[in-house]
Amino acid sequence: MRAIGIVAALEMEIAELLGLMQADVVRHRIGRRDYYTGSLLGCPCVIVLARVGKVAAAATTVTLIREFGVASVVFTGVAGAISRHVNVGDVVVAQSLLQHDLDARPLFPRYEVPLLGLSHFDADPDLTRRLSSCATEYLRQDLAADGPARAQLSAQFGITRPAVHGGMIISGDSFINDAQHVEALRTSLPDALCVEMEGAAVAQVCHEYDVPYAVMRTISDRADGSAGIDFNAFLQAAASRYATGILRRFLVLQRERDAA
Ligand code: ADE
C-alpha cells in the first residue's frame, strides 16, 4: 500500500507524530531533510518537516513524491488570519491555494503561475472533506472533552470557541506582521482566509505530479503586529495538539477505508 505523505510546518508537530509512530520507523536523510517512514495508527506514512518558505516546501514535496511515491499529501501548520471572520485558535482547511507574492506582469496576469495558466490550485475535494470533518469532530468532541486543554487555551490565549473554516489559503515568502499589508491583501484577495509561507508551493508541486493533497492550518496570529502571544506556548497548547488530534482521526478513518 502506498504511503500518505505528512508534511508538517512545525518541529513540534513532527515530534508529536513521531511519538505516535510504531517501532518500525526509519529515518532517511535526503537534501538536508529527515523523512521518517513507518506506520502511524496502522497507516503507512512518510513524515517530514516542510522547512520555511515556498522553495523549501516545494523541494520537500518533490522528494516525497519522487523518492517515496506517496499516494497523497496532507500538510499541517500555522497561519496568520486575513479574513475578519477567522480568529486565533481556529482551523482553516484549504479549498484552494494561491501565491500572493507571485507577479510576472506584464508577461502574465497577477498571481498566475507562468506556463501553468493557473492562479490558484484546488485541494483534492475528497481529502479536504475528510480532513475538514475530522477537524470539526476533533474540536467538537476531543478538545471539548479535554478540560485542562480548554482551560489553558481560554486562560492563556482567550480561545473559547474555536471554529473550522474552508476556503482560500494564500502563501508567500514573507512573514506578514503589519496591518497595512493585511489590508492590502484583503483588498486584492477578498476570498483569502489566512496567510502562511508554504501551502501554495506544496499545492503546485502536487498539481504538477497529479498527487491529491489537502492543507490545514491553525491560526496563530492576526498578521497585523497586534498583541503578540507566547508563540512557543501556542504551538504546544494549540497548533501541535490540534494537528495530532485531527490527524489521529483522519488516519483512523483512512485505515478503515483501506481495510474495507
Ligand atoms: N505563519 C503563521 N503566521 C504567519 C504570518 N503572519 N505570516 C506568514 N506566515 C505565517
Taking all residues of the chain, what is their mean pLDDT, rounded to a whole number? 95
- Lowest mean pLDDT across 42-56, 79-93, 143-157, 225-239: 225-239
Residue 227 pLDDT > 70: no
- Residue 22: the pLDDT is 76
Nearest CA to ligand 1 atom 9: 196
Residue 229 pLDDT > 80: no
Residue 228 pLDDT > 80: no
CA 106 / ligand 1 centre spacing (Å)? 28
Which residue out of 75, 176, 219 has the highest number of ligand 1 atoms within 8 Å of its CB and is therefore the one to mutate? Answer: 176
- Residue 135: the pLDDT is 98
- Residue 230: the pLDDT is 82
Residue 1 pLDDT > 90: no
- Residue 251: the pLDDT is 96
The mean pLDDT value for 106-114 works out to 97
Q: What is the pLDDT of residues 160-173, one digit of tens each?
A: 999 999 999 999 99
The mean pLDDT value for 104-131 works out to 97
CA 48 / ligand 1 centre spacing (Å)? 20
CA 256 / ligand 1 centre spacing (Å)? 35
% of the chain residues with pLDDT over 90: 90
CA 14 / ligand 1 centre spacing (Å)? 19
Domains of the chain: 4-254 (3.40.50.1580)
Q: What is the pLDDT of residues 64-85, one digit of tens each?
A: 999 999 999 999 999 999 999 9
Give, in order, the Cα–Cα distances in Å from 211 to each of 1, 111, 181, 204. Answer: 15, 22, 33, 10
The mean pLDDT value for 15-43 works out to 93
Give, in order, the Cα–Cα distances in Å from 170 to each of 37, 82, 102, 127, 258. Answer: 29, 9, 11, 19, 32
- Ligand 1 site residues (CB inside 6 A) read 78-80, 175-177, 195-197, 220-221, 223
Q: What is the pLDDT of residues 202-217, one digit of tens each?
A: 999 999 999 999 999 9
Instruction: Give the position, in ligand 1's atom list, of the atom nearest the Cα of 174.
Output: 8
Which residue out of 78, 88, 182, 234 has the highest number of ligand 1 atoms within 8 Å of its CB and is therefore the one to mutate? Answer: 78
- Residue 134: the pLDDT is 98
What is the pLDDT confidence band of residue 232, given thresholds at 50, 70 and 90?
confident
